[in-house]
Amino acid sequence: MPAGHSVADSQDGSLSPDPLSTVTVYKVYRRRFWGLAQLVLLNIVVSWDWLTFSSISTTASQHFGVSESAINWMSTGYLFAFCVASPVVILTLNKGGPKPAIITTSALLLVGNWVRYAGTKARGGMFGVAMFGQILIGLAQPFCLSAPTRYSDLWFSDRGRISATAVATLANPLGAALGQLIDSFWATTPEQVPDMVLYISIIATVASIPSFFIPAAPPTPPSASSASSKTPLRPALIQLLKTLEFWLILIPFSVYVGFFNSVSSLLNQILEPYGFSETDAGIAGGILIIVGLISSAIISPITDRFKHYLGTIRILVPIVAICYIALIFAPSSPAGIAPAYVVCAILGASSFGLLPVVLEYLVEITYPFSPEIGSTICWTGGQLLGAAFILIQDALKASDNASPPQNMKNALIFSAVVATVAAPFPICIGLFGRVVRRRRLDVDRGVALEDAVFRGQEAASADGCIDDENPNTGLDPASDMPKLATKYSS
């Protein structure tokens, strides 16, 4: 801990002052959980909205009088809307913090849900109006999905950041699980679709209202890294895109989030050709997500305690790739639906355990860049590829003359190949002479930012991995750190 600082936790009122303390008390407040709970609610609702029609694609297509491919565009348009909103999201989180982003999410959710209900309730269903409401909801998603890393950095110390990010981020797939499980029971016939959308709209309204009352920021920072000034947006963005480690995370993150989005959207169409019902597909989607949430609830606190980010990533990424290979064979297994359930469970456990660890690791190695920059770009990549994968996999659907008709085996082969190709990228982080340090954690433990950067440089130089003119430590300390970092004096 830097001299001149002390740390307190308002949960027990204890204070452990440094003998030289004269300046700042770092403290975490109980009120931080109110904003975290609101992020959880919004991420649940916005993801539930996403899969409203995909989870009952056959029934929804009958209600609107359109094809299942048109229903797929409800998911695809939603994901593309995320990409459109992303630049505004980065600006909002960077300049205003989490609260303006949370309020924007709530406003778009309120309008989008009720517009969508109006389109669904109209006689015969007005598909265009419902699609417009779905796009408004899609515009809302990035504001709450990109906020957790920024929120945890603002309100939590290093002892709880991963867990906080995990809770808020994984609420998003929890909403998808609820959509998969509940929607198929609420709408078993085309006539029940408007009532289902009404129920979801009421839930969204109730969940959105508290957004206007949460605190914007803590009275005092929770840690040294939170107290330091962040790199201005434009130079941070430019330097981030020049950092190899960022790309080694962005590529697999985008691929695996994209395939989660496409598989969640198409799960009913993946299983239905083999005689399984929409309810079976809903249960499979629920298993995928619920087992994943349990896995993350175990992995996140362990990683919070021991900080083994990279080791966790190297273990879980190959498991994710293997699961996509296994998914090719699960639907057609003579054992029935059980293999699909098992594959979904393992895929969920590995994917969800990985997600918050990767997001927090990205913040650690790109510090002092503001957390929302990297996370929003990664999420945008995932949504963009998710939309593209839905279109590609829908196009790879077999014809009516295939056995079984309209099966998606070719689509699953495509996902397995791409997922396998993406696996080596994160495993290569820190290899081949590159030294990657957890800079934010170093600052929280009392290391000045410039020292954290140059430690990595010196370690690599000692091994003969780099030279002074071409430091290979991810970010370039010689050109960037003097103007971007905040120096802590002893």
Cis check for the bond before 368: say yes or no (omega within 30 of 0): yes
**Residue 111 pLDDT > 90:** yes
For residue 285, what pLDDT is reported?
A: 86
Note the maximum CA span of the chain: 79
- Two structure tokens written together for 9: 């936790």
User: Highest mean pLDDT range out of 118-122, 156-160, 168-172?
Assistant: 118-122
**Residue 346 pLDDT > 90:** yes
Q: Are 306 and 296 in contact (CB under 8 A)?
A: no
For residue 34, what pLDDT is reported?
A: 92
Q: What percent of the chain has pLDDT over 70?
A: 82
Mean pLDDT of the chain: 82
Domains and CATH numbers, the chain: 31-427 (1.20.1250.20), 439-484 (no CATH)
**Residue 9 pLDDT > 80:** no
Q: How confident is the model at residue 173 (pLDDT cuts 50, 70, 90)?
A: confident
For residue 433, what pLDDT is reported?
A: 64
* Chain centroid to CA 443: 25
**Residue 437 pLDDT > 80:** no
**Residue 14 pLDDT > 90:** no
A 10 A CB-CB count for 217 gives 12
Q: Compute the Cα dihedral for 115, 116, 122, 125 and give only its sign.
A: positive
Mean predicted confidence (pLDDT) in 92-108: 93
d(CA 324, CA 414): 10
**Residue 444 pLDDT > 80:** no
Mean predicted confidence (pLDDT) in 271-288: 89
**Residue 439 pLDDT > 60:** no
- Burial class, 11, CB count within 10 angstroms (exposed 0-12 / middle 13-18 / buried 19+): exposed
In angstroms, the first-to-last Cα distance of the chain is 10
Smallest CA-to-CA distance from 487 within 437, 438, 453 is with 453
Mean predicted confidence (pLDDT) in 392-398: 92
For residue 464, what pLDDT is reported?
A: 37
Lowest model confidence (mean pLDDT) among 57-61, 325-329, 436-440 = 436-440
Q: How confident is the model at residue 23 (pLDDT cuts 50, 70, 90)?
A: low
Q: Does residue 189 or residue 468 have the better pLDDT?
A: 189
User: Highest mean pLDDT range out of 291-300, 301-310, 439-448?
Assistant: 291-300
Lowest model confidence (mean pLDDT) among 6-20, 108-122, 206-220, 394-408 = 6-20
**Residue 468 pLDDT > 50:** no
Lowest model confidence (mean pLDDT) among 118-122, 225-229, 344-348, 436-440 = 436-440
Q: Are 270 and 408 in contact (CB under 8 A)?
A: yes
Smallest CA-to-CA distance from 97 within 237, 208, 239, 230 is with 230
- Burial class, 274, CB count within 10 angstroms (exposed 0-12 / middle 13-18 / buried 19+): middle
A 10 A CB-CB count for 344 gives 25
Smallest CA-to-CA distance from 366 within 425, 306, 446, 453 is with 453
d(CA 279, CA 457): 55
Q: Are 332 and 274 in contact (CB under 8 A)?
A: yes
User: Highest mean pLDDT range out of 100-114, 240-254, 365-379, 417-431?
Assistant: 100-114
Lowest model confidence (mean pLDDT) among 93-97, 229-233, 272-276, 357-361 = 229-233
